[in-house]
Amino acid sequence: MPIDATFPPALILLAGALLLPLLPRGFRSVFSLVIPLVALGLVWLVPSGTHLTLKLMDYQLVVYKVDKLSRVFGMIFALITVIGGLFAFHVKEATKQTAALLYAAGALGVTFAGDFITLFVFWELMSLPSTYLIWARGTRESEKAGMRYLMFHVFGGGLLFAGILAHVAETRSILVEPLVAGHLLSSWLILAGVSLNAAVVPLHAWLSDAYPKATVTGAVFLSALTTKTAVYVLLRVFPGWEILITLGVLMALYGVVFAVLANDIREILAYHIISQVGYMVTGAGIGTEMAINGASAHAFSHILYKALLFMGAGVVLHTTGKSKLTELGGLGKKQPLILWLYMIGAFSISGFPLFNGFVSKSMVIAAAGAAHHQAAMLLLLLASVGTFLHTGLKLPYGTWYGEDRGLSPNAPPGNMVLAMAAAAFFCTLHGVMPGLLYNMLPYQVNFAPYTLPHLVETSQILVFTFVAFWIFRAKLAGEAGITLDVDWFYRRPAKWVQRIFLEDLETAFNKVDTLSMDIISKLSRLSKNPMLIFTKSGAKYFSPDTYRPAIQTLIVLVLFSFLLISFWGLFI
């Protein structure tokens, strides 16, 4: 029986995720490709204006609502789930395959949600499976990074939920619609929760911390879904909030600066997610039709080329067991196809003509100029220099060229190469034929990327960046070590906090427990023979000096508890 085209595609992925563990092991990989293909077909076929409502108490839930903005994001989320499933085709663990489908179901559910309750349910659905894709790496580092990732997203989900509750109390509406910039606490809470998932600086450290620690295949899904789902919500709910212009430009610059310090190739790519999402956040802040189009197009392009880049880095890790520039080099002759497929992603993210980044990033920059945000336009252009410098030059040079360290990579599974080729195809297709992408955008497009001034400007930037890299390439090489960002504030004091709140506190409680039991024991003896206290041994036995250390510990513990309660009282 054919599936109705108006059936929510998120439910297809959700049902597939629940069914997959019950299937024969040999069929699961095929199934994990077929299910997102069905979802992609549904998104493609469903007409705009389609909606599905349900009654919940006094509220009407709009669990499925389709327009051009939701469709373009739904298309790319479904497409990248297919490509990611192909890249992970050799993976046979049902838990990893299930987590990927659940993760994608959450992203599609948010995209087509017409009310905040449905949006929040699918928003939270994304957290656990994405965390599992980090934990599934099975290392001590991935375990810690996954826990930090989860705690960040639990906190962000709490902010979002608090904002939704306050919004419903203030407006009596649960519909997902643009919020007017103002002083309503609910709007700012929702914005904070969404901004955390968008990795807006300074709420971004979870991304650069966790993504490099994820599984080789899981990182592809991570690079595509969480931040871009948040970008969709910003475009839907917060268009024209000018604070997002400042935050977006800061992200664009911040990411490329910290990529200078990164040594792990997937960490470099993670920082460039922050930078590239900055363009989209800026577009949401500008809020014009051209800016919304540009941010949507750039999200579409970014998901493709960033997935391609993470796949290239993942193949290197999968075949060599290495992921740091200080351990890599000389792989160009051993992995020529992987190198050139990666370079298509690098050309795309750097904004080379004939690749998709050129036709989408330039639209955001042009929208900034058209809206008279000249400073933002110039700073976004500056950020594009750093993008080519690190993702297009530093990373491939240090990985496939540079010093040959004698590595002998294994041959990657054919499905990995095929998935990279599929992503590279779309990166090139939309660069050569931008109309295919522009026709999917929310508003009618009046933008021509291939103009002589734009081509000259882009060529100058790329040539200047290449010359600068070649001159300073030795200084830009990776250095062994861990790059700490704002996570310094909670990773550096971790041992100190653990000692005070766990080890020292446990010791204090143990001393108080010992003191209590000792007092009870002695009082029991005294009750049996009250004259004992008047004997020489009894006087020493019950001397206050015996209890002074324990009493001091008890006093300190009481004072600490009082200060802790007083501090907590400031926030309630």
| CB-based contact 256:389 (threshold 8 Å) | yes
pLDDT tens by residue, 286-329: 999 999 999 999 999 999 999 999 999 999 999 999 888 888 88
> What pLDDT is attached to residue 569?
47
pLDDT at residue 466, rounded to an integer:
84
Residue 566 is predicted with a pLDDT of 54
Sequence-distant (6+) residues with CB within 8 A of 315 are: 216, 335, 338, 412, 416, 417, 420
For residue 52, what are the β-bridge partners?
A: 64
| Ordered DSSP codes for 40-100 | HHHHHHSPTT-EEEEEETTEEEEEEE--HHHHHHHHHHHHHHHHHHHHTTT---HHHHHHH
Q: Which of 118, 107, 104, 98 is nearest to 52 (CA)?
A: 118
Q: What is the pLDDT of residue 545?
A: 57
Q: What pLDDT does residue 158 have?
A: 93
Task: Give whole-number Cα distances, 292 to 190, 203, 358, 399, 533, in Å.
Answer: 20, 23, 17, 36, 85
**How many beta carbons lie within 10 A of that of residue 229, not counting itself?**
27
What angle in degrees, to the nearest 10, is found between the helix axes of 218-237 and 289-320?
170
Distance CA 409, CA 224 (A): 27
Q: Which parts of the chain register pLDDT below 50?
A: 1-2, 501, 567-572
The amino acid sitting at 340 is: W
User: How is 228-293 classified by DSSP, letter by letter?
Assistant: HHHHHHHHHH-TT-THHHHHHHHHHHHHHHHHTT--BHHHHHHHHHHHHHHHHHHHHHH-SHHHHH
| Confidence at residue 476, expressed as pLDDT on a 0 to 100 scale | 62
Residue 516: how many other CB atoms lie within 10 Å: 12
Q: What is the pLDDT of residue 73?
A: 96
d(CA 136, CA 162): 31
pLDDT digits (tens, 9 = 90+) for 463-478: 888 887 777 766 666 5
Distance CA 78, CA 44 (A): 10
Which residue bears the tokens 């349900």? Answer: 54
What's the confidence (pLDDT) of residue 51?
Answer: 81
Q: Are 295 and 283 contacting, i.e. CB atoms less than 8 angstroms apart? A: yes
| Res 568: pLDDT | 47
Amino acid, single-letter form, for residue 292: I
Closest by CA to 252, choosing from 281, 292, 231, is 281
Question: Which pTM value belongs to this model?
Answer: 0.84
Cα–Cα distance for residue pair 390/376, rounded to 1 Å: 21
pLDDT given for residue 572 in this prediction: 41
Residue holding tokens 């446990």? Answer: 506
What residues pair up with 55 in beta bridges, in sequence order? 60
Residues 6+ apart with CB under 8 A from 133: 96, 99, 100, 103, 214, 215, 218, 219, 221, 222
Q: What is residue 66's predicted lDDT score, i.e. its pLDDT?
A: 92
Instruction: Say which DSSP state 543 is in.
Output: -
pLDDT given at position 570 = 42
